[in-house]
Amino acid sequence: MRLLKFIPILTILASIFVGCNDDDISYAFEGISAPTDVNAVFDITQDDTGLVSITPSATSASSFEIYFGDTDNEEATVISPGSTAEHIYQEGTYTARVVAVGATGLTSEFSQVVVVSFRAPENLVVTLDQDTVNPAIVRVSASADFATLFDVYFGDVENEEPTIIMPGETVEHTYENPGDYTVRVVARGAGAATTETTQLVTITAATDPVTLPIDFESFTINYGFTSFGNATAQVIDNPNQLDINTSARVGQLTKPTGAEVWAGTFLQLENPIDFSTNKLFRVKVFAPKSGITVKLKVENATDANIGYEVDAVNTIANEWEELEFDFSAIDTNNEYQKVVIFFDFGVAGDDSVYLFDDVTLTTNMTASIEGVWKLAPEAGALGVGPAPGDTSWFACDDACVAERACYYDDLYVFDIDGTFSNVLGDQTWIEGWQGGSDACGTPVAPYDGNNVATYTYDQAAGTLTVNGTGAYIGLPKANNQGELPNVAVPSSITYNISFIDNNTISVIVESGAGVFWQYRLIRETYSTPIEGVWKLAPEAGALGVGPAPGDTSWFACDDACVAERACYYNDLYVFSADGTFSNVLNGESWIEGWQGGSDACGTPVTPHDGSNPATYTYDQSAGTVTITGTGAYIGLAKANNQGELPNVAVPGAITYDITFHDVNTMSVIVEAGSGVFWQYRLIRL
Ligand SMILES: [Ca+2]
Ligand SMILES: [Ca+2]
Ligand SMILES: [Ca+2]
């Protein structure tokens, strides 16, 4: 009660504050906005007096001004919330206005045509719409001559109080149970005589069979739970529309005190579950306690002895959590048609209530991000919209994909050693903010793939972070702070990533609030043995030199050497499908003395820095590959067909002998002068 006394004082203080600081109004004060949701319930007495009552309502209104609309220069009738204004009208048609006044004087209003007639209503027309998604919802509106309002009876409860609607107004009603109901609408005016009509509405039972995935959203599917062990289950409106489950409806299992340790519930599916490819169940659960065993079981439709069950333990209370159930060891010779779920298995009931949703059978994916990815060169793979999955603001269509061919060949390379590379080739799509003209052009620093970059992939969180200024996926401008150039160039970007299948990922970044850039990436595939992204095998002996092929007795980089030269072992040799070749060095490489370095990691030195354009030709019958382009090389920059730099001129091309050990391993040899064989073992990413 003490608190209540203070409220008016606080309101006055707030008003003074606002009044004294016109230039500095704080809109943080509640109630400073105008009232909303202004409405009014009208009623009329049927005694030929023309007495109409108006009960207004609104959110955040402190009073209402009523204008009945039947006199000129009318003074408002002021009433407080919850009160009813009464007024006697002569026969006629008027427009009544209801003005809701907020605490700060801001107003909102609502008008309603009021027909006052002592004649019995005529030409009553009732419109009854049944919702197409949820057939249990009906909407009723009505019109009639000489009617002030309509009483609507939906016919599903005893002693029903009618719902009053005005002409043009629609009322919605949800029936609890299937059945035939008589909807009765009574048109009323100011006189005693009424006119009425009835319509039959049939609410059909939900009879469609249950299929996977089970999301409980359908109003036509019969989620007919069979519960046991004293548990009960039903579909309810989602009481916790949070985080990973903002859907409308969920399954609910109640395990009352006294329920068996094995209490649970099941749904029978339309058909046996297809376990031929997908063997991983995911279920979203919401439990009042953590550390409970959730058991998911599948069972034969008729033989309860045929079943398979998997346990999972939840890790958090009172939050939605997606649990995984690995069914990969299931005997696929049997048929399973029931999905059974148990909560807190092994523990007797304690009145806990559990929610579950999105029972989905999916793939047991290895979910390896390692490898070479590119934007799927198809309509819709690049887009932006107000929500994940929604690219309604922009989606690159077929013509756009064709126009941006220089961009759709860009590669995103995730090396097993944690190195990330943007491999752009000579050109990519350069937007205006980069100084380009929304056209193909030379990559612009720092978004040219030349900086050191790494990545971290958190499979559980579904996030992928690329670290390094200029490293990106999809569009360089879209980062976690917003879009360039409106925000600073970030040093890392975190994307939400989900595997659609082992070779397709969805990558999303919310670049500023409510702006979701979305990319669908696919694994790069190759049509010739040499195409792809290669690197030196990071293992002893993969780099060496000797007097003959296969002999690296003069020098072979051992384990310590491999570790010392990590900046070199992540260098990439990119053989693109279009015949271009790239040295992608990821910021640093091993720089030898002849280059001005100190036999240590350092910034690449031109022309051996990957900056010059280069091409390659692969002669399968000869077993050779020729790299053409000054500064382009495989293995060691110094070793070429004439000898070793700096003793010979920088060549315009180098031819290497190559041998494939398997599709992902090749040996590359160059005789650098007579009898000096530099040898490299390369692996494909
Ligand atoms: Ca749902
Ligand atoms: Ca490109
Ligand atoms: Ca490197």
Do 505 and 566 sit in the same domain of this protein? Answer: no
Question: Is 48 inside any structural domain?
Answer: yes
- Distance from C-alpha of 389 to C-alpha of 520, rounded to nearest angstrom: 11
Stretch 445-473: mean pLDDT: 93
At 32, is the pLDDT very low, low, confident or very high (cuts 50, 70, 90)?
low
The 10 Å Cβ neighbour count of residue 555 is 12
How much distance in Å is there from the Cα of 451 to the middle of ligand 3? Answer: 9
CATH number at residue 605: 2.40.128.280
Ligand 2 centroid, distance to 451 Cα (angstroms): 17
Gap from CA of 253 to ligand 1 centroid (Å): 14
* Average pLDDT rounded to a whole number, residues 362-389: 89
**Boundary-marking domain end, from 69, 88, 116:** 116
Residue 13 falls within a domain, yes or no? no
Cα–Cα dist 541/180, whole Å = 83
Per residue in 116-148, pLDDT tens?
999 999 999 999 999 988 899 999 999 999 999
Q: Give me the CATH number covering residue 156.
A: 2.60.40.10
CA of 611 to the centre of ligand 3 (A): 14
Ligand 2 center–CA 471 separation, angstroms? 15
Whose atoms come closest to the Cα of 576: which ligand?
2
- Least confident among 40-49, 72-81, 215-224, 363-372: 363-372
Residue with token string 């108006």: 54
The number of distinct structural domains making up the chain is 5
pLDDT over 50 (residue 25)? no
Same domain assignment for residues 346 and 461: no
Provide the domain limits for residue 555: 532-684
Residue 392 forms part of a structural domain: yes
- Do residue 395 and residue 511 come from a single domain? yes
> What percent of the chain has a predicted confidence (pLDDT) above 70?
95
How many whole angstroms from 590 Cα to the centroid of ligand 3?
A: 8
565 Cα–ligand 3 center, Å: 9
Residue 260 Cα to ligand 2 midpoint, Å, equals 63
Q: 81, 116, 151: which is the final residue of a domain? A: 116
Asked whether residue 483 falls in the same domain as residue 540, the answer is no
The verdict on 443 and 571 lying in the same domain is no
Regarding whether 550 and 517 lie in a shared domain, the answer is no
User: Ligand 1 centroid vs 645 CA: distance in angstroms?
Assistant: 67
238: CB partners within 8 A, 6+ apart: 245, 246, 247, 248, 249, 250, 355, 357
Domain contains 174: yes
State the ligand closest to the CA atom of 567.
3
Query: Which listed ligand is nearest to 247 at the C-alpha?
Result: 1
CB burial class (10 A; 0-12, 13-18, 19+) of residue 75?
exposed
CB 346 within 8 A of CB 260: no
Single residue among 478, 494, 523 that ends a domain in this structure? 523
| CB-proximal residues (5 Å) to ion ligand 3 | 567, 570-571, 585-586, 589
CA 244 – ligand 1 centroid, Å: 11
Task: State the distance from the centre of ligand 3 to the C-alpha of 163, rounded, in angstroms.
Answer: 75
Shared-domain flag, residues 552 and 680: yes
In a domain, 208, yes or no: no
The reply to whether 429 and 328 lie within a common domain is no
Condensed to tens digits (0 to 9), the pLDDT of residues 660-671 reads: 988 899 999 999
CA of 241 to the centre of ligand 1 (A): 10
Q: What is the pTM of this model?
A: 0.52
Distance of CA 216 from the midpoint of ligand 1 (Å): 5
Peptide bond into 607 cis (omega under 30): yes
Is residue 217, in this structure, part of any structural domain at all? no
274 and 378 inside one domain:
no
Strand order in the sheet with 232-237: 232-237, 249-255, 352-362, 280-286, 320-326
Ligand 1 centroid to 336 CA: how many Å?
23
358 CA distance to ligand 1 middle (Å): 6
Per-residue model confidence as pLDDT tens digits over 550-599: 999 999 999 999 999 999 999 999 999 889 999 999 999 999 999 999 99
